[in-house]
Amino acid sequence: MSWWGKIIGGTFGFMMGGPLGAMLGGALGHQFDRGLSDHSSGGVGGQERVQTAFFTATFSVMGHVAKADGTVSGSEIALARHVMAQMQLNETQRLAAMRLFEEGKRSSFPLDEVLEQFRFECHRRTTLIRMFLEIQIQSALADGTLHAAERQLLAKVAEALGIPKGTFEQILNMIQGAAHGGGPAGRGPSLADDYKVIGVKKSATDAEVKKAYRRLISQHHPDKLVAKGLPEEMVKLATDKTQQIRAAYECIMTSRGSHH
């Protein structure tokens, strides 16, 4: 049975307490009585536990980031809905995700505690934590602008999750580059965006470009991410990301006249 099936079916054996448990419980109209901070079975806990934490943290923090610049724009709500559509959530999941998004918009949202628990539940799964940050940055860029308050908040999220400042800047550049490019069919004319996506300078050698490309593809490999606890519903997000990376790499190598 899937992680979601277990939640709905009332099999809460793997369920965490803490702010994530409380928020998901509220979104589903359930009361989890696992205690305030049941870390005893966490961290190295089961796959379902990590999937549940990822789902809950993703949509609540997304709501919080959307509110960072003072208002939640229509495009930010549209992006949240787009992520839900990509995930092909069923009605119950979609409603829970929207309630979590709303919860994140509250001024009382406990961001620090949520991030601390999420990092703990992920237990050093760095590629999974990176994917989480990428989704948050993408949601902040949904209205086409990264406001100073949003950037500041995202940097805080990255720091709380143990992501070095340099890596945060690199991920930010990558997502901004992908947002400008728009995929192989409708790519913008800028090769600079492709270099941003791969995370290398134009002066990089072919070997350096290839190495950076392979590392990115490995980090975003859908099967690997699911094995680490990415909810199956989010595979489409990881697949889209690998397609963007591949398209950028192919454009760079073609522009260089290199065989790849």
Q: What is the pLDDT along the chain (260 residues), one digit of tens a residue?
A: 477 777 766 555 456 678 998 888 888 876 544 433 344 444 334 788 888 899 999 999 999 998 988 888 888 888 888 888 877 788 888 999 999 999 999 999 999 999 999 999 998 899 999 999 999 998 888 778 888 999 999 999 999 999 999 999 999 999 988 876 544 444 454 899 999 999 999 999 999 999 999 999 999 998 898 888 888 888 888 898 899 999 999 999 999 887 66
Q: Can you give the residue range of the structural domain that contains 64? A: 3-255
Phi, psi of 62 (to 5 degrees): -60, -40
Is 128 domain-assigned? yes
Is 260 domain-assigned? no
Residue type, 27: A
Query: Which is nearest to 246 in space by CA: 194, 169, 201?
Result: 194
Is 196 domain-assigned? yes
- Give the largest Cα separation in the chain, rounded: 61
Q: Is the dihedral of CA 133, 138, 140, 141 positive or negative?
A: positive
Element (H, E) at 213: helix 206-219
Cβ pair 71, 152 in contact under 8 A: no
CA dihedral 99, 105, 107, 111 (to 10 degrees): 90
How many distinct structural domains can be found in the chain? 1
Is 94 domain-assigned? yes
Is 10 domain-assigned? yes
Q: Is the dihedral of CA 66, 67, 71, 77 positive or negative?
A: positive
Is 33 domain-assigned? yes
Phi, psi of 106 (to 5 degrees): -65, 145
SS3 231: coil
Cβ pair 165, 236 in contact under 8 A: no
CA dihedral 245, 250, 255, 257 (to 10 degrees): 140
For the purposes of burial, counting CB atoms within 10 Å of the CB of 185, is it exposed (0-12), middle (13-18) or buried (19 or more)? exposed
